[in-house]
Amino acid sequence: MTSRREFLQAGLATSAILAGLGLSNWSRAMAQQSLTQDQLLQFDDFGNLTLIHVTDSHAHLRPVWFREPDTNIGVGEAAGRVPHVVGETFQTMFGIAPGSPQAYALTYPDFESLARSYGRMGGFDRIATVVKAIRAARPDSILLDGGDTWHGSYTSLKTMGEDMVLVQNLLGVEAMSSHWEFTFGTTRVRELIEKCNFPFLGANIYDVEWDEPAFEPYRIIQKGDLAVGVIGQAFPYLPIANPKWMFPEYSFGIREERMQEVVDDLRGQNVDLVVCLSHNGFDVDHKMAGRVKGIDVILSGHTHDAVPEPVLVGETIIIASGSHGKFVSRVDLDVQGGRMAGFRHKLIPIFSDVIQPDPEMAALIDDIRAPFTADLEAVIGQTDHLLYRRGNFNGTWDDLICRAILEERDAEIALSPGVRWGASVLPGDITREDIHSVTSMTYGQCYRTEMTGETLKTVMEDVADNIFNPDPYYQQGGDMVRVGGLAYAIDPTAPMGSRITDLRLIADDSAIDPSRSYVVGGWASINEGTDGPQIWDVVEDHIRTTGGARQDAPVSNITVKGL
Amino acid sequence: MLISRRGVLAASAGLAALGLLPIAVRAQDAAAAPAMTADDMIAEFTGGAAVADGDGVTLTAPEIAENGNTVPISVDAPGASEILVLALENPTPGVARFTFGPLAASQAAATRIRLAKTQDVVAIAKLADGSFVRTASNVKVTIGGCGG
C-alpha cells in the first residue's frame, strides 16, 4: 500500500516537472515573442478541489513594477533554504533562464531592462481574469486572501480600507486573515468586517481582558461533497511591530497550542481537508508545519516570498504567493477519505501586458480612483535611477526617504522602518501615488528627537534580533531598519547585542559615541501621540526642493559580515 | 456569538474561582527575601533532589511579550502537588508557588507576570511520586520592530 507521504512526494515531483515544462514553454514563447494568456493559465486539471491564494497586495489595485530582493539572509536552519535564496542562486535552484519572464518575475538581476521588456505585473483587474478562468475550469474552487490587503496605497488610506473591501467582494474572496488591517484601529476594522461578504478569520486573536478568542477562528467551506476547514492566523506580533494603542483590545502571538487545538477541533468534525490561511511569515510557517499535526496546506503570507514550488514539511505543503498582486497561486488537490492524496501547483505570474483586464473589475477600480485622479497622477519630480525597497538592508527608495528626513527635518541620523511593502519606480517620473506606495500608513508622522548613541545601538540590535534570531518563532518578519547618515557593520549570525559594530556618523566619519546625544528623525513610531509632518509630505517636499532623486553620495553604508 | 461567549465566560469565571479553593497560592514568596537566588529557591523547593528536564510539566508563555509588565503564562502538571515558577533574570526571581490539594480537579494554573527583560521563565513541578521535573520558556521583551 502506498503511504500518504509517497503520494505527496510523487505530487511534488509532478509539480516540479510541470514547472519545468512551464519554464521551457515560456522561454520558447519569448523566443517567438508569443507569451500568451493561455500559456500563463495553462494547467492540467487535477483532483477534486482547487485553492486559489492571493496575499499581501498592500492595496495595489493597478499593475506595478516590483523588484524582488537582492539580499534575504536566512539564519539557523533556514540558511540557504527558500525563501532565503535570491538572484542567480534562485535561478539555478529552480532552473530559470536568466532574462526569461520567470527571471524577471522572481529575481532581481537586470530588473530595469527586463521591466522594460516584460512590463508591469499585477493589477486586480488582471487577477480577476485569472480567478474567473480558474473558477470556470474548476467550479469547486476556494479563493483565499492572506491579508495585508486593506493597507498600502493612497486610495486605501483615503477610503480607510473600504476600496479594498469592494474589490475583495467583487473578486469573490471566501475568507481572509490579517495584519496591517488592524492599523486602521479596532472601530474601523469592525466596520469593514461588516461590509465583507466573507469571514475575517483569526484563531490567534485573543481578547486582552478575557484572554479568550475574540474572532472567528475558522470557517468550514463546503465545495461539492467536500468540507474544507479554513483556519485564519493573523500576524502574531501585531502589538509589537505596529502601534498597539490602535487595537488595545486584542492580543495575538503564534499560539502554537491554540493552532493544534483548532486543527483537532476541525478533524473532530470530520472535515476532508484542513487549510491554514496564515500571516505568520514563511519561516514561522515552516517551523509550525513541523510541530502542529494535521494541517494539509498552509497558504503562507507576510514575508512576501514568491516560491515557485510547494515546500513539503512532513505531510503539510506550504504555498507562498508573493506580494503586490504579482502572483496568484493555483493549487489543485486530490482529496480522498478525509486526506490530501496529491496536489498540483502553479504560481501564476500576473504579466499585466499579457493577461486581459476583467472589464467589471477594471470599472470598479476606475470608480475607486476617479475622485483622486489628480492627486494620484501628480508628478512630483523625476528619478535618474531605479527606486526599490525590498531586501534586508537599505534599498534606493529607503535612501531617498532617509535623505529627505535628514534634510527636511535637519537631523543627523534618519531611521526608516524595514517594511517589505512598496512598489519600485523606473527612472523617470515619480508620482504622488508612487510616494504613497512606499509610505502610506495611519501613523506616518515624521518625528524629530534626540537619542544617545547607546540607545541607537540598542534599537538596532533589537530590530536585528527580530529578523536574525535563529529561532523563527522569535522573528517578526520585515527587514532591518533603514538608516540615513549612518554607517555600520552587521553580523547576522552573532548573538543578540553583538551583531552591530563599527557604528559611524557618515557626515564626519566619527565613531558613534554611546554617551553623546544625536538628533534623530524617523517615522512610523509605534508610540501614541508622535508629532511631526506626514512622511509622504516630507518626501514630496524634498523631491520638489531638490528637483528629483539623483544617484549621488550614499546616505548609508552597511557592511554585512560573518556569512 | 461574542456576547454569548462572554456570558459563558462570566459563568465559568465563577466556576474557576471555586476550582481555586483547594489551591493555596503564595505569589511573590521570594519578594520578602530578595537575597535568595533562583538556585537557592530551587534547592529549597526540591530539598536538593535531582530535577529532570522534560515531560510532566508544561509551561505556556508567549515567545515575545506584547507587554513586559503583564505577560500571560500558564502551567500544567497532571498529578503534581506543587509547581514553582521562576523568572530567572528578574531582580527577584520568585514568581509563584502553586500548591494543589488532594481535591484539586486539575493541577494547572494561569496568571500574568512581570518580566524585567528577555529571559527564561522556569517551571518546576513536584509530581505525585515525589520526583521533580523542570521546563523553561524563553520570553523576549522587546522595544518593538517594524513589521512587514
- pLDDT per residue as tens digits for the range A263-315: 999 999 999 999 999 999 999 999 999 999 999 999 999 999 999 999 999 99
C-alpha cell of residue B23: 489551591
List, as ranges, residues 442-481 from A with C-beta within 8 Å of B. 458-459, 462-463, 465-467, 471, 473-474, 476-479, 481
C-alpha cell of residue A313: 514539511
Mutate to test the interface with B, among A209, A240, A242, A456 (most CBs of B within 10 A): A240
The pTM score is 0.91
Instruction: Please state the domain extents for chain B.
Output: 23-139
Contacts of A366 (CB under 8 A, 6+ apart): none
Nearest residue of B to residue A526, measured between CA atoms: B144
Residue A36 lies in a domain: yes
Listed residue (A8, A58, A11) closest to A301, CA to CA = A58
Q: Which amino acid is residue A560, in one-letter code?
A: V
Cis preceding linkage at B102, omega within 30: no
* pLDDT tens figures, B101-113: 999 999 999 999 9
Task: Please answer yes or no on whether A462 and B72 come within 8 Å at the CB atom.
Answer: no
Instruction: Check whether residue A362 and residue A392 sit in a common domain.
Output: no
At A34, the pLDDT band (50, 70, 90 cuts) reads: low
- Count of CB atoms situated within 10 Å of the CB of A95: 13
Task: Please answer yes or no on whether B142 and A465 come within 8 Å at the CB atom.
Answer: yes
- Count of CB atoms situated within 10 Å of the CB of B114: 15
Q: How many angstroms separate the CA atoms of A331 and A143, rounded?
A: 11
Q: How many angstroms separate the CA atoms of A524 and A533, rounded?
A: 12
Instruction: Check whether residue A321 and residue A391 sit in a common domain.
Output: no
* pLDDT tens figures, A257-274: 999 999 999 999 999 999
Residue A372 lies in a domain: no
- Of B5, B110, B143, nearest to A459 by CB-CB distance is B143
- Is residue B33 predicted with pLDDT exceeding 70? no
* pLDDT tens figures, A441-482: 999 999 999 999 999 999 999 999 999 999 999 998 889 999
Cell numbers 483569526: residue: A202
List, as ranges, residues 418-447 from A with C-beta within 8 Å of B. 418-421
For chain A, the maximum distance between any two Cα atoms, rounded to a whole number of angstroms, is 72
Task: Please answer yes or no on whether B145 and A302 come within 8 Å at the CB atom.
Answer: no
What is the pLDDT at residue B8? 42
Using an 8 Å CB-CB cutoff, list chain B residues near A178: none
List, as ranges, residues 339-368 from A with C-beta within 8 Å of B. none
Confirm or reject contact between A395 and chain B (CB < 8 A).
Answer: no
What is the pLDDT at residue B5? 43
Residue A373 lies in a domain: no
Q: What are the strands of the beta sheet with B119-126, ordered from one edge?
A: B23-25, B94-100, B82-87, B119-126, B132-139, B51-53
Confirm or reject contact between B10 and chain A (CB < 8 A).
Answer: no
Listed residue (A521, A535, A375, A376) closest to A441, CA to CA = A535
State the count of interchain CB pairs (< 8 A) between A and B: 88
Using an 8 Å CB-CB cutoff, list chain A residues near B6: 210
Instruction: Check whether residue A189 and residue A234 sit in a common domain.
Output: yes
Q: How many angstroms separate the CA atoms of A192 and A80, rounded?
A: 40
At A18, the pLDDT band (50, 70, 90 cuts) reads: very low
- Of B142, B143, B146, nearest to A524 by CB-CB distance is B146
Instruction: Check whether residue A109 and residue A31 sit in a common domain.
Output: yes
Mean pLDDT within B78-101: 96
At A549, the pLDDT band (50, 70, 90 cuts) reads: confident
List, as ranges, residues 254-313 from A with C-beta within 8 Å of B. 254, 257, 281, 302-304
Instruction: Check whether residue A190 and residue A257 sit in a common domain.
Output: yes
Nearest residue of B to residue A456, measured between CA atoms: B143
Instruction: Check whether residue A302 and residue A348 sit in a common domain.
Output: yes
- Is residue B2 predicted with pLDDT exceeding 60? no
Task: Please answer yes or no on whether B144 and A303 come within 8 Å at the CB atom.
Answer: no
Confirm or reject contact between B147 and chain A (CB < 8 A).
Answer: yes
Instruction: Check whether residue A314 and residue A439 sit in a common domain.
Output: no
- Of A180, A252, A463, nearest to B145 by CB-CB distance is A463
CATH number of residue A166's parent domain? 3.60.21.10
Mean pLDDT within A349-368: 97
Using an 8 Å CB-CB cutoff, list chain B residues near A257: 60
Task: Please answer yes or no on whether A253 and B62 come within 8 Å at the CB atom.
Answer: yes
Nearest residue of A to residue B144, measured between CA atoms: A240
* pLDDT tens figures, B53-76: 988 999 999 999 999 999 999 999
Mean pLDDT within A431-440: 98
Using an 8 Å CB-CB cutoff, list chain B residues near A421: 148
- Of B1, B146, B148, nearest to A304 by CB-CB distance is B148
List, as ranges, residues 13-52 from B with C-beta within 8 Å of A. none
What is the pLDDT at residue A10? 38
Judge contact between A189 and A202, C-beta under 8 A: no
Fold assignment, B23-139: Immunoglobulin-like (2.60.40)
Segments forming the whole domain that contains residue A490: 378-560
Q: Where are the alpha helices (DSSP H) in A347-452?
A: 359-369, 373-377, 396-408, 432-439
Nearest residue of B to residue A255, measured between CA atoms: B62
* pLDDT tens figures, A506-519: 999 999 999 999 99
Mean pLDDT, chain A, rounded, equals 93
Task: Please answer yes or no on whether B145 and A462 come within 8 Å at the CB atom.
Answer: yes
Q: How many angstroms separate the CA atoms of A23 and A70, rounded?
A: 22
Residue A30 lies in a domain: yes
- Is residue B13 predicted with pLDDT exceeding 50? no
Instruction: Check whether residue A383 and residue A362 sit in a common domain.
Output: no
At A31, the pLDDT band (50, 70, 90 cuts) reads: very low
Instruction: Check whether residue A399 and residue A340 sit in a common domain.
Output: no
Using an 8 Å CB-CB cutoff, list chain B residues near A496: 118
Instruction: Check whether residue A265 and residue A304 sit in a common domain.
Output: yes
Q: Which of A316, A337, A367 is the last residue of a domain?
A: A367
Q: Which of A318, A337, A367 is the last residue of a domain?
A: A367
- Of B1, B60, B145, nearest to A241 by CB-CB distance is B145
**What total number of domains does chain A contain?**
2
Residue A348 lies in a domain: yes
Q: What are phi and psi of A34, to 5 degrees?
A: -140, 40
- Of B60, B138, B144, nearest to A526 by CB-CB distance is B144
Instruction: Check whether residue A333 and residue A427 sit in a common domain.
Output: no
* pLDDT tens figures, A217-231: 999 999 999 999 999
Q: Which of A367, A399, A421 is the last residue of a domain?
A: A367
Q: What are phi and psi of B83, to 5 degrees?
A: -130, 125
- Is residue A29 predicted with pLDDT exceeding 80? no
